[in-house]
Amino acid sequence: MSKISLEKSGLYLVALVIIYAAIVGTLNFINAPKVGYIDSSILMEKFPSAITARAELNTKAEEWQANTKTLEDELNMMNKEILEESPKWNKKTMAAKQDEFKKKQMEYARYSKAIQKKAAELENELFQPVFTELNNKIKEFGDNQGYEIIFGTLTGGNILFAEEGSNLTDDFLSYTGAI
């Protein structure tokens, strides 16, 4: 083979590789996965079952807060009485009042701890069905809209940049009839 035909063969080979790379690149671009994200905090603000669960939790929390306030008021009154009246009491009365005050403090501490536990349990009980419903609806939405991946994020969360159309929150809420 002559030097010119080798050079032509080499050029054809390079041209073929470039064409192949362009075709593969184009096909990869065309077949790129459809990806988006949903802002979870907005879902929790606007999704109907989440709103209902939050309202129920808030109602119970207000009730517990009122009970806690009553115990706090009782403790404050007892403390005030001890501070103001203790100079008039004998040692036996003083010891009895301090003992009563300590018992009330322990009751308050036990109640506060029990309420925190109940609040966490109630939150889990109320929101687990909401999360299950949301997960099922997001899967259905993704399947119907052709998404391969839908990320969840919180406001100010892990997504640092995304094209405007990547935020699917409003589309999802519209899909579910929430807005």
Q: What is the pLDDT of residues 50-93, one digit of tens each?
A: 999 999 999 999 999 999 999 999 999 999 999 999 999 999 99
Range of the domain at 100: 33-176
User: Do 3 and 69 lie in a common domain?
Assistant: no
- Assess whether 47 and 101 both reside in one domain: yes
Provide the phi-psi class of 162: left if phi over 0, else alpha when psi is between -120 and 50, else beta: beta
- Give the span between the Cα atoms of 49 and 119, in whole angstroms: 18
* Residues 77 and 3 grouped into a single domain: no
CATH code of the domain covering residue 161: 3.30.910
Pair (93, 133) in one structural domain: yes
pTM for the whole thing?
Answer: 0.71
> Comparing C-alpha atoms, which of 166, 134, 145 is closest to residue 51?
134
Let me know: does 166 contact 172? Beta carbons within 8 Å. no
Average pLDDT across each block of 10 residues of the chain; the chain has 179 residues. List them in order.
Answer: 56 64 61 85 93 97 95 95 92 95 96 96 97 95 94 74 85 91
Considering the domain architecture, whether residues 66 and 92 belong to the same structural domain is answered as yes
